[in-house]
Amino acid sequence: MIHAAAAMKPEIKTNRGRASKRGPASPAAVGVPPHTAEGRHRVTRSPGSRTVTWQNLGDSFGVGGAANWPEPRTIVGGSVDSSFTPFVMGPPPPPLSPHPPPVQRRAERPFSAAPVLLHGSAGQSFKIIMNEDVYEVRDGNEYRYLVQEEGEEEVRYCRRNYVNPFLVPSRKCILIVSCTVLSLLVLAGYLAYVATTPLHGSASVLTDCGQVSGHWRSGAYSFKGIPYAAPPVRDRRWKPPVDLQTSGLCWKDTYDATYFRNVCAQVQPLNESGTVQGEEDCLYLNVWTPTLQKDARLPVMVWIHGGYLHMLSGSEEGYSPTEELAARTGLVYVSFNYRLNAFGFLALELLRQASPTNTSGNYGFMDQIAALQWVQKNIYLFGGDPGQVTIFGQSSGGTSVWTLMMSPLAKDLFHRAIDMSGSYIYNSSLEKAEKDNLVFLSKTGCSTLECLQKLSKTKVLQAIPWKEYPFWAAEDLTDIPAKGRFNGPVAVVDGHVLPGPPLETWKNGGGYNDVPLVIGTTEQEADFSPNYDNISLWTWEDYRWFVTDKLTPFGVEITKQAVYLYNSSAPCPTDARCPERLYTTLVSDMRVTCPAHDKARRAAEALKSPVYRYIVTHTPSREAKISRLLPFPSRFSYHMLDALGFFNSLKWALGGISDEDQAFQEIISKYFVHFAKTGEMPSEWPQYPSQVALLSSNFSVDHKSPAALRQLRAARCELWEKNGFFPYAWIN
């Protein structure tokens, strides 16, 4: 049997290196003797003989083989008679001895055919199939025909270097490889990002109490309605908040934090016939964050809503953080609900029975502290830095900020504070408040704690002394006070949350949280909800009559000075409603602005940390739309305007905004965010008492105002302070 391995190539070598890609050349062109040819040949072997005969059957490649070699040729060494008509490459070899010398020849390129395969036995045909390829061979390689004994294999070998075209670099190949590698690197980076980042549209975070799922919207994540304490219901009513883990109320499944939960029980408007809203099960918080990377360590701003300590929530439209705010400022925001009105601040001696601290009242402040404790334990999971927490609140939220600054229970839970239009009066003792609130107990008909705990929420809200002393509705806070009429306390100095009156604590030194503080007010705070429905129609004569009527009980001289300092020649930015503006400025100076100057001065004297003071002087481009938040079509720099500006809500509040309105929003956002990030204001805003910042569509400071205007402002505050009006300042 004769066999040639299929993987072997024809033993043809060239001295010229690489085989040509052109077609076969003539014998003369490649150095082949003229009598040889490339073409078809017949090979015959005689039975019992060692002779092999090759016969040229004609040139199939155009090299003239048939003409040069027509006769058969015989090679000694065969014994089997076989015949076939193969396609072969090259001439028949010369006669061979039993050990023939090698035959060398050169060729431009190998012939195109299938791999060589020789099989045969007596009476059978040999078949030769050769394969096309492109390869290099080295000079001096040999081409041999070996004929073995019958029954043996014929093996033909050649040595060559085969060069795969994929291993021959070209510019196109290099480009393809480079692009492939780059694509793989980009894919790897994307997969790594996806592995650590939730898909937009949804998000999930594992808190200390269980998994919560939230939303991605407008460039940030939001998680709403996360419980931070056990529901204060039934036997937990009028008690400090209870930890979720301690009470065994954590969850095993993923908690759906994609929507706001209950607001706390309240009534609007603040009277016995008001509409009851909310539930006692209301201790939930909300988080907005631009990232969920744990190592992001973004500053955190914790919002405390206002509402007289009686109403609203941490999820009010236009009056709370949003995804847009988090994305635009690059900070993490938290808001929360806390118990309100009688559920959150009722002080009664009867309630001390179940108190572990022998106190009553201020439960809402305890809720706030529990929320801040949750922030310290969990906010890093939402990309926030528990070491950079700013608390900021407006109205009674500002009062809450001041309370937390003075409470040892809130130590190290926050690091900066912004008090926006908070109270000045804060000195009622627990014993006095418990006595004042006996009217509540009388209206319920209860004499035991068990009876109080069984009251429905509606009965509790209706029993609150809204319009009788202690006047929890506080309806007169936006008007010149009646002489001798003071509102009773809601928040009290209980000896537990608040060890002593804040102003006294600052004066005595120690026991408070020394952090950077901003105290702000608006120029016409009282324009938020004036006591007179027709105030927008007043003439200057109406204005003078009301000022004189309200102030005369305090003395004729005081009245004259007030009319002189607040007269019709005062600048007015609008063509209409100027008497309204001046009246609400007078009330605001007396009850809010000037007392806030005094509070800021005392803070600056007590704190080592910087203290800053601002007044919003911006007049919006149009009056406010009446809503749940805004009960009056306010026109000037009213109470809450700074909060609405920071939350980018003026378009919502006004129904449209001007370029100046937008500029005001950007101004207040710029400075609040800078303060949250650094704990100080930029250099153009000096610390108090050297300067007061005036925030409008541009930033300025008081000392750059005309001298006459500065003197007028100082004289106005001096009038109210020297004549004993600060005790009528805002409370609760």
pLDDT at 417 over 80: yes
Q: What are phi and psi of 205, to 5 degrees?
A: -135, 140
623 touches 604 (CB < 8 A)? no
Return the HEC string of 189-229. HHHHHHHHCCCCCCEEEEECCEEEEEEEECCEEEEEEEECC
pLDDT at 597 over 80: yes
**What is the Cα–Cα distance from 474 to 649, expressed in whole angstroms?**
27
| pLDDT mean over 88-92 | 46
Instruction: Give the model's pLDDT for residue 199.
Output: 52
* pLDDT tier for residue 197 given thresholds of 50, 70 and 90: low
Instruction: Give the model's pLDDT for residue 181.
Output: 82
| pLDDT mean over 555-582 | 97
| pLDDT mean over 151-174 | 56
Tell me, yes or no, whether 479 and 610 share the same domain.
no
Tell me, yes or no, whether 331 and 394 share the same domain.
yes
430 touches 493 (CB < 8 A)? yes
Instruction: Give the model's pLDDT for residue 189.
Output: 72
Angstrom CA distances, 679 to 325, 589, 612, 682, stand at 20, 28, 11, 10
**What is the Cα–Cα distance from 160 to 463, expressed in whole angstroms?**
106
Instruction: Give the model's pLDDT for residue 163.
Output: 55
Instruction: Give the model's pLDDT for residue 400.
Output: 98
Tell me, yes or no, whether 592 and 645 share the same domain.
yes
| pLDDT mean over 84-107 | 46
pLDDT in tens, 336-367: 999 999 999 999 999 998 899 999 999 999 99
Tell me, yes or no, whether 426 and 539 share the same domain.
no
CA angle 444, 450, 455 (to 5 degrees): 40
Tell me, yes or no, whether 180 and 261 share the same domain.
no
Tell me, yes or no, whether 456 and 557 share the same domain.
no
Residue 662, domain CATH: 3.40.50.1820
Instruction: Give the model's pLDDT for residue 653.
Output: 98
* pLDDT tier for residue 185 given thresholds of 50, 70 and 90: confident
**What is the Cα–Cα distance from 263 to 476, expressed in whole angstroms?**
26
Question: DSSP states of 313-378 as a string?
Answer: -TT-TTSS--HHHHHHHT-EEEEE----HHHHH---GGGGGG-TTS--S-HHHHHHHHHHHHHHHH
Tell me, yes or no, whether 143 and 223 share the same domain.
no
* pLDDT tier for residue 120 given thresholds of 50, 70 and 90: very low
* pLDDT tier for residue 174 given thresholds of 50, 70 and 90: confident
| pLDDT mean over 126-149 | 42
| pLDDT mean over 455-471 | 96
Instruction: Give the model's pLDDT for residue 274.
Output: 93
**What is the Cα–Cα distance from 349 to 430, expressed in whole angstroms?**
9
Tell me, yes or no, whether 271 and 318 share the same domain.
yes
**What is the Cα–Cα distance from 725 to 174, expressed in whole angstroms?**
85
**What is the Cα–Cα distance from 109 to 132, expressed in whole angstroms?**
9
Cα of first residue to Cα of last residue in the chain, in angstroms, is: 113
**What is the Cα–Cα distance from 284 to 45, expressed in whole angstroms?**
102
pLDDT in tens, 263-318: 999 999 999 999 999 999 999 999 999 999 999 999 999 999 999 999 999 999 99
Tell me, yes or no, whether 275 and 254 share the same domain.
yes
Rg (CA), the chain: 48
Tell me, yes or no, whether 504 and 532 share the same domain.
no
Tokens 């080592």, residue located: 608
Pick from 479, 513, 547: which residue ends a domain?
Answer: 513
Segment among 108-112, 187-191, 208-212 with least mean pLDDT? 108-112
Tokens 């650590």, residue located: 196
The tally of CA atoms less than 13 A away on the side-chain side of residue 499 is: 15
Strands (E), 59-154: 73-75
* pLDDT tier for residue 99 given thresholds of 50, 70 and 90: low
pLDDT in tens, 654-683: 999 999 999 999 999 999 999 999 999 999
**What is the Cα–Cα distance from 14 to 10, expressed in whole angstroms?**
12
Instruction: Give the model's pLDDT for residue 70.
Output: 42
pLDDT-above-70 percentage for the chain: 75
Tell me, yes or no, whether 433 and 559 share the same domain.
no
pLDDT in tens, 475-512: 999 999 999 999 999 999 999 999 999 999 999 988 89
Pick from 367, 374, 372, 319: nearest CA to 339? 367
pLDDT at 327 over 70: yes
Instruction: Give the model's pLDDT for residue 170.
Output: 67
Structure tokens at 199: 């898909």
214 touches 205 (CB < 8 A)? yes
Pick from 513, 545, 574: which residue ends a domain?
Answer: 513
Pick from 493, 513, 533: which residue ends a domain?
Answer: 513
pLDDT at 128 over 70: no
Average pLDDT score over the chain: 83
Tell me, yes or no, whether 10 and 98 share the same domain.
yes
pLDDT in tens, 680-722: 999 999 999 999 999 999 999 998 899 999 999 999 999 999 9
- Specify the amino acid at residue 534: N
Instruction: Give the model's pLDDT for residue 35.
Output: 39
| Domain assignment of residue 190, given as a range | 169-196
Return the bridge partners of 224, or none. Answer: 258
* pLDDT tier for residue 200 given thresholds of 50, 70 and 90: low
* pLDDT tier for residue 130 given thresholds of 50, 70 and 90: very low
Number of domains in the chain: 4
